[in-house]
Structure 1
Amino acid sequence: MVGKPSTPTPKGSFKIKNKALNPGGPFGARWMGLTATGGSYGIHGTNNPNSIGHAASAGCVRMYNHDVIELYNTVPIGTIVNIYFNLEIALISYLILRLFLYVLELKFSYIFL
């Protein structure tokens, strides 16, 4: 996921500038560094999969190790990476998820009546 409010993920268009196999520590199975300025930002795995889905990084984009391995094997150095946040898309995704959970709850309530 994305960085903490105090260390947000940079927004914009960047390129993958370097890649590392098994960087270790909190970076998980793979690291792909970005050309973002103002720090050392990248896309990487994690040694704490429970942190995925939470704004907990120092600005990097964290992924499950199996996903970052697949991405690492797919994209070469120089690949363009666009990072942006669209509030409308986030809100629509949230509402769709809530609707899905509501329908699922109704379905299971009906089954167990």
Structure 2
Amino acid sequence: MAKPTKSDLKKMTYQELQQHEADLQLIKQELRHEALMATKRDVMQLIKESGFELEELGLAPEKSERKRTRAKADSAPKFRHPENPALTWSGRGPRPKWLKEALEAGKSIDDFAI
């Protein structure tokens, strides 16, 4: 895949650049997550082969840490503002103001799904 040149990027509109930036952020997040999971698998395999337990190595998370880890994993963005891709919502917690206003204006929540 060819890397866009500076002149290619300058030909884009502001909105296209924003969408391009949002797409790049999403791809970066996905690649980071994949690398993290691969590293975790490798480390867990090494620990398993060593014969030690996580607790012995001081690597077992506290109960409160486990809950936070799970909650963060489930909070990936599921909705995005159409004009400002930096504004996202995971679907958890209160709806953000921009989404409430759009829904009150007659938009469907599906219009914002990622």
More strand by share: 1
More helix by share: 2
**Is the radius of gyration larger for structure 1 or structure 2?**
2
- Larger relative contact order (Cα-Cα within 8 Å, sequence gap ≥ 6): 1
Q: TM-score of the superposition, structure 1-length normalised? A: 0.30
